[in-house]
Amino acid sequence: MITDKAKELMSDYFVKLISGGTTLSNVNLSAGSGKIGTGGNNTSPLATTLDIDLASATVSAIATSSNTFEVKLSVAGSNITGKVIREAGIFDSNNNLLARVNFNGVGPFTASQTLEIFLIMEVE
């Protein structure tokens, strides 16, 4: 069994791994990064990169409860004009892949659009 406090600490740690800052246990972490890609193969826990890396994304994370958090990735359409996006990844400041999500393709995009991807993550 994982206690509620442990879930809270782990959730907070992930938020800080992604957005940067000082954790509840006073560990200072640098902000991570996000990437999007055109690959759509199944994910594997052994993965270290996206299938087909296309562009960097602005990434942020906020706690939504004691054990859940929301991650937002945002990319300007000028970086993905004419492309169909099928995967997104979240990385820590050392470029370790923390999470990869594949999905049905979205796009193609025009230069004036912005792609925003929201992920809800839960520590259980």
Q: What is the pTM of this model?
A: 0.91
Average pLDDT of every residue of the chain: 95
Is residue 25 very low, low, confident or very high in pLDDT (cuts 50, 70, 90)?
A: confident
What residue ranges do the domains of the chain occupy? 4-122
pLDDT of residue 42: 85
What is the pLDDT at residue 44?
86
Three-class SS of the chain = CCCHHHHHHHHHHHHHHHHCEECCCCCEECCCEEEEECCCCCCCCCCCCCCCEEEEEEEEEEECCCCEEEEEEEEEHHHCECCCEEEEEEECCCCCEEEEEEEEEECCECCCCEEEEEEEEECC
